[in-house]
Amino acid sequence: MARLTAARYGKDNVRVYKVHKDEATGTQSVTEMTVCCLLEGQIETSYTEADNSVVVATDSIKNTIYIKAKEHPVNPPELYVSHLGQHFLDKYPHINVANIKVIVHRWTRINVDGKPHPHSFYRDGQETRNVEARISREKGIELKSALSGLQVLKSTGSAFHGFVRDEFTTLGETWDRILSTDVDSTWTWKTFPNVAAVQEGVERFDSAFDAARSITLKTFAEDESASVQNTMYKMCEKILEAAPEVDVVGYSLPNKHYFEIGKLPSSSFALQTHD
Ligand X SMILES: O=c1[nH]c(=O)c2[nH]c(=O)[nH]c2[nH]1
Candidate residues 126, 169, 229, 268; the one interacting with ligand X per rule CB under 6 A: 229
Which residue is catalytic, options 27, 45, 58, 128?
58
- Active-site annotation holds for 58: yes
In the complex, what is the shortest distance from the CB of residue 225 to ligand X, in angstroms, rounded to a whole number?
A: 7
Which residue is catalytic, options 105, 117, 234, 257?
257
Rounded to whole angstroms, how far apart are CA atoms 254 and 153? Answer: 12
Candidate residues 171, 199, 207, 241; the one interacting with ligand X per rule CB under 6 A: 171
* CA geometry: angle 135, 190, 133, nearest 5 deg: 30
* 228 touching ligand X, by CB under 6 A: yes
Could you tell me how many residues of this chain bind ligand X (CB under 6 A)? 6
Q: Interface with ligand X by CB under 6 A: which range of 47-55, 97-105, 225-233, 266-274? A: 225-233
Query: Is 151 annotated as belonging to a binding site?
Result: no
Rounded to whole angstroms, how far apart are CA atoms 54 and 236? Answer: 43
* 227 touching ligand X, by CB under 6 A: yes
Query: Is 59 annotated as belonging to a binding site?
Result: yes
- Active-site annotation holds for 31: no
Query: Is 169 annotated as belonging to a binding site?
Result: no
* 255 touching ligand X, by CB under 6 A: yes
Query: Is 177 annotated as belonging to a binding site?
Result: yes
In the complex, what is the shortest distance from the CB of residue 199 to ligand X, in angstroms, rounded to a whole number?
A: 41
Query: Is 48 annotated as belonging to a binding site?
Result: no
Residues 43-72 that bind ligand X (CB under 6 A): none
Query: Is 220 annotated as belonging to a binding site?
Result: no
* 205 touching ligand X, by CB under 6 A: no
- Active-site annotation holds for 11: yes
Q: Which residues are annotated as a binding site for urate?
A: 58-59, 160, 177, 228-229, 255
Q: Which residues bind ligand X (CB under 6 A)?
A: 160, 171, 227-229, 255
Q: Which residues are annotated as a binding site?
A: 58-59, 160, 177, 228-229, 255
Catalytic residues: 11, 58, 257
